[in-house]
Amino acid sequence: MANILILLTSLILSIGNPSDKMKEEHQENKVTTYYLIRHAEKDRTEVGNRDPELNTAGRERARKWAEVLKEVDFDAIYSTNFKRTTQTAQPIAEQNELEILNYDPRNLYSDNFKKATAGNTVLVVGHSNTTPHLANAILGQKKYHDIDDKENGALFIVQVQPDGSASCQVLYIN
């Protein structure tokens, strides 16, 4: 009788707490959605500053991005390690009660990144070159070119289906 109780308890616990492998398989069967944006307008008054903060218009745009994306339930938010990208991501991170995770723009869409984001809804804040390059890497084709330096309102929404097929739409929020 004691063996049956132990067996039943083990069975119930295993049902209530799926293994990591089961969780991973579940994530792999879900659509992965990436929201990719370029950082908001940066302060250009100090020529040569490689890490400027957002200017007034940029801070306003960052708040606007938070408003536009308020209905999206993000699982993770990624940004390069620059002031302008983290400041763009900050209002959205606060709204979703998430920490901003850094990514290396020289190593876009790595196997680790794919695994960490599989089945999730993810915001990635990048730059005029890294944002379209990441979209291209996810799509597996060179479809998008660098964003014009004056354009800060492009939103790439890239979805990866469980079978690996991917699609993208680009919206302009100005």
Give domain limits for the chain: 32-172
Compute φ and ψ for 114, nearest 5 degrees. -60, -45
Residue 121 is predicted with a pLDDT of 99
Lowest mean pLDDT among 23-27, 55-59, 146-150: 23-27
Question: In CATH terms, is domain 32-172 a member of 3.40.50.1240?
Answer: yes
Give the number of other CB atoms < 10 A from CB of residue 124. Answer: 29
Classify residue 19 as left (phi > 0), alpha (psi -120 to 50) or beta. Answer: beta
3-class state of residue 76 by DSSP: strand
Cα angle value 44/90/47 (rounded, 5°): 10
The pTM of the full predicted model, rounded to 2 decimals, is: 0.84
pLDDT at 7 over 50: no
C-alpha–C-alpha distance, residues 56 and 62, integer Å: 10
